[in-house]
Structure 1
Amino acid sequence: MKTVSSRDNPFYKELKALATNSQARRKAGRSLLDGVHLCQSWLDLRGLPAHCVVSEDALANPEVAAIAGRVEAARGHVTALPEALFGAISQVEHGVNLVFVVDTPAPVVPKLLTESAVLLDGVQDPGNVGSILRSAGAAGIKQVWCSPGTAFCWSPKVLRAAMGAHFVLEIFENADLPALVRDAKLPVLATSGYAAECLYDVELSGPVAWVLGHEGQGVSDELLNLASRRVAVPHAGQVESLNVAACAAVCFFEQLRQARHRQP
């Protein structure tokens, strides 16, 4: 285990940039995972990180020590920082002072939509994006395609909200959603509060692609016109519409319910 104690250390400067600057994360092709749950999930599902970073005091925490020890035992890189330095790289209040530096996965991009997927059309709130990823992973959907206007999926806020769902998904950023929908080999369902067709009346036992739109403007007119169908989630009461993440969860789990109901 190495120790870094200077703010001028090049590795520490790199950590600060990754923690605070989205452009730096995109340029480096790296992200930070903060906390025991995300780091443990990465180890279990993806393997060693590029680097494990802990505060010196955090090594007294058995969970942190176990994760750092596991990385060291596999000949991974572990660096300890004083508490004063670690505070600048963690955005979690009252966290355990453990982060992984990971190379942002870049999966091979399929040419066509052939399996159940989520298409995010300008969903801007990181919490919403993370919640949608979490629901998609829990419902067994493997692919998430993001338009250029969608929040960066590997930002700290999205990672925390998704709670490890990233590690069981294939995530494609800056996707050309209209081209993807035009060539899709499966039904494409665009969600809309103004759609005449109810979600619960749609056959969902097979693969489908879900299009979810911007928090205020919804799915773009172009994608609405290209989609196979437009569907609405029915709701009672005086509330005008559902939050996009809540809408996504209802859609994904209705698909899962139907698929399970039709299993022999």
Structure 2
Amino acid sequence: MKLITSKDNPLYKELKQLAASSQARRRAGQTLLDGVHLAQAWLQHRGAPQLCVVAESAQRHPEVAPILAECERSRTQCLVLSDNLYGAVSQVENGVGLLLLVATPNPKEPQVLEKSAVLLDGLQDPGNLGSVLRSAAAAGIGQIFCTAGTAAAWSPKVLRAGMGAHFVLDIYESADLERLCAGSRIPVLATSSHAAQTIYQCDLAGEVAWLFGHEGQGVSPHLMEMASQEVVIPHLGEMESLNVAAAAAVCFFEQVRQRTAGD
């Protein structure tokens, strides 16, 4: 494995730029997976990365060594950075000192909605987006469609919040939600505090597309009009609404409950 100790090394400069800039990641079509859990999940679900990077002091770490060995078996280039250089690339405090460079998946967007999906209109907070992805993956929902105004799905913060969910999902960014809603072959449900029907009164045993919006402004009025139905999550406490990630989890797992009720 090659050891890099100079901050002027071209490959190191490239890694540092990718770590710091969403524009650089978008131009390169690459992203960084920081930490053992994300690395293990990528190797399990997606295979070999483009590059494996390890801090000099972490080479013999008991969790890092098996990942390095697997990358070497797949003939992935492995790079060692001196600890101070690695610290300038990693965004994880007190991490173990391992990251992977991978090509950002870019699946072909389907023309119509036929399978259960999540439509995200302007969701801004990376933590919320990662949590929504994690809940969707756990609930067996495989497709995520994000408008251009939604947080970058493959950013380091969203990846950490998603805990590996990205790697079992098809994520479509800059998606045209109006076109998808207009031609959808399955119901498109949007949560609203003003709706009359609760999610528990809806038939969710089949395929459903869930529509969620911006944390403060919600779904845009035009998209809300295109939803098949507005539904409400009933609650007893004196709070106007739930956090969008919490609301999404409630919806997804009510769908799971109905689908598995006879099991």
Q: Same fold (TM over 0.5)?
A: yes
- Contact map agreement 1:129 1:153 (CA 8 A) in 2: yes
Q: Which residue of 1 aligns with 2:162?
A: 162
Q: Which residue of 2 aligns with 1:260?
A: 260
Following TM superposition, by how much is the alpha carbon of 1:262 offset from its aligned partner in structure 2, in angstroms? Answer: 4.3
**Aligned mates of 1:262, 1:212 — CA distance in 2:** 29
Write out aligned runs for 1:1-264 (5 A).
1-262=1-262
Secondary structure of the structure 1 residue equivalent to 2:105: coil
Secondary structure of the structure 2 residue equivalent to 1:80: strand
**Aligned mates of 1:20, 1:126 — CA distance in 2:** 15
Following TM superposition, by how much is the alpha carbon of 1:239 offset from its aligned partner in structure 2, in angstroms? Answer: 1.2
Secondary structure of the structure 2 residue equivalent to 1:62: coil
**Aligned mates of 2:122, 2:195 — CA distance in 1:** 19
CA-based RMSD of the aligned residues comes to 0.8
Secondary structure of the structure 2 residue equivalent to 1:234: coil
- Contact map agreement 1:55 1:86 (CA 8 A) in 2: yes
Q: Which amino acid is 1:102 matched to?
A: V
Following TM superposition, by how much is the alpha carbon of 1:260 offset from its aligned partner in structure 2, in angstroms? Answer: 0.8
**Aligned mates of 1:10, 1:60 — CA distance in 2:** 26
**Aligned mates of 1:238, 1:147 — CA distance in 2:** 32
Poorly superposed stretches of 4+, deviation over 4 Å? none
Secondary structure of the structure 1 residue equivalent to 2:234: coil
Following TM superposition, by how much is the alpha carbon of 1:111 offset from its aligned partner in structure 2, in angstroms? Answer: 0.8
The one-character-per-residue Cα deviations of 1:47-97 (angstroms, maximum 9, x if unpaired) are 000000001100121111110111011111100000010001111110011
Aligned length: 263
TM-score under structure 1 length normalisation: 0.98
Q: Which amino acid is 1:174 matched to?
A: S
**Aligned mates of 1:57, 1:24 — CA distance in 2:** 28
